Amino acid sequence: MSISNTAPVLALDEKKLVPVNGFLRAMADIPPSRMFLINKSLKVYQEKNPSAQTFDASQGDGGASLPGVPKAILERAAQLQIEHGTAYDMPFGTEAYRKAVVEQYWKLDPGAGYGPANVLGTAGGRDALVKAYGAMLALGHGRQGDLIMVSRVPWISYNWGPYGVGANVLWAPGDPAEGWAYSEDAIRASVKFAASKERKIAGLIITNPDNPTGLTITVEKQVSLAKAALEAGVAFVLFDWMYHYVTDEQPMDLNSFLKFFTPKERKRLMFLDGITKSLGGSNVRNCHLIADEAVVKFIVARASHGVIPSFYSLAVAMAAYEMGFSEAAKTIIEPTNASRKVLKGLLMRNEFQHIIGKGYYAFVNVADFVKAKGWADSEPLGQYLAENYGVAIVPGAFFSPFGNEWIRFSYATPPERTEGAFARLVEGLNSLKA
């Protein structure tokens, strides 16, 4: 290179430089998630009622409200860590982890066209999603500012995770009477709406069971929605199956699911799963993303300069897969399934409009109580119930304006705790009409 060492030099050719724009100055402030603060209001109740029991129905964390990862699995993971050592691993994790995901967890048929090279280990679900959003933008239509489509009342981080990496978020049409479920027509209408704004849809997120509503949709419906999206020009469809083991039915079967799609269509699909919910490993931070090999290579190259998953988090998952995942996750799955039955009965007997499918959550309409108090939405209700009645829930207003008259109630607790939490909820709600 003939340039003088005294001259500044750009690292890339000028044609490859990121264009200067005012996006960062103009963008909305990304708020911190209030999910981590909700149960702090319970301390006020505890100070006023030191001997009284409190109930946390806000939790999406089986490691807090249920026993979490069994000790035997943590010990086996520690043994794997000792054997493995503490040197750097690859940005996708390790080959042993990839193999465990394919062979022990999903038990993928070699003929499915998916193998270890299609697996990316990540530091939890948020890390996987942020990496997926970046790939959707770059490998989809190759533009920042395009849209990620989510449900009408999405998980909080679905609103802000895409925005933080240069994607915009589109809430799909949906009817609350149907749990704001996607429809094929709504997907096509969203693509047309995006075009009217001179934008395209880089990705559609299908979460099943859903957070926050708990809505569950059939395999056939998930397939139909994905095909409608791909046919309409959506670049990628991501299936978030983080809760699919927490059910009294069978978990998703990736082998049979893939058979509904052509090899060409599969290149535009992503699958997210992990141990956060079904194993109660929230602070272990392990998740995996399964995608086309080109997508995984794209993400791995960037992850090598960013976030690499820790080996211990991979080892916890491998230890659980080694044991047999259904057996490993019993301490989360069984009490949650039992609580779901209890809660269904309570909601029906008390005549609450509600959504309750599988997973961890019920979404409950509390409009009459909110209006009786003169509140604009359910946000103040969270603090009111926690401080005065010792029960923490999540206001639906936290998720989107379409959840303003709703609350999320977690039943990822033993049945007796769910019954106690519901009794306090009813007592607190009735007080608003007194």
pLDDT surpasses 90 at 59: no
2-26 average pLDDT score? 91
Mean of all residue pLDDT scores within the chain: 96
Q: Which run of H or of E encompasses 297?
A: helix 293-303
State in Å, rounded, how far the first CA of the chain is from the last one.
81
| pLDDT tens, residue by residue, 317-367 | 999 999 999 999 999 999 999 999 999 999 999 999 999 999 999 999 999
**What letter would DSSP give residue 102?**
I
Structure tokens, 70: 């069994």
Position 204 pLDDT exceeds 80: yes
Flag whether pLDDT at 1 surpasses 70: no
What's the pLDDT band for 39 if we cut at 50, 70, 90? confident
Q: Dihedral sign, CA of 366, 371, 375, 376?
A: positive
Task: Give residue-wise pLDDT tens across range 251-301.
Answer: 999 999 999 999 999 999 999 999 999 999 999 999 999 999 999 999 999
Average pLDDT over residues 109-125: 95
Question: Residue 132's pLDDT is what?
Answer: 98
Both structure tokens of 342: 């209890």
- As a whole number of angstroms, the distance between CA 250 and CA 340 comes to 16
Q: What's the confidence (pLDDT) of residue 36?
A: 72
Give the helix ranges, DSSP H, for 357-412.
367-373, 379-389
Q: Which of 18-22, 203-207, 302-306, 320-324 has the lowest mean pLDDT?
A: 18-22
Mean pLDDT of 106-124: 95
Residues 6+ apart with CB under 8 A from 401: 377
Joined tokens for residue 320: 């659980």
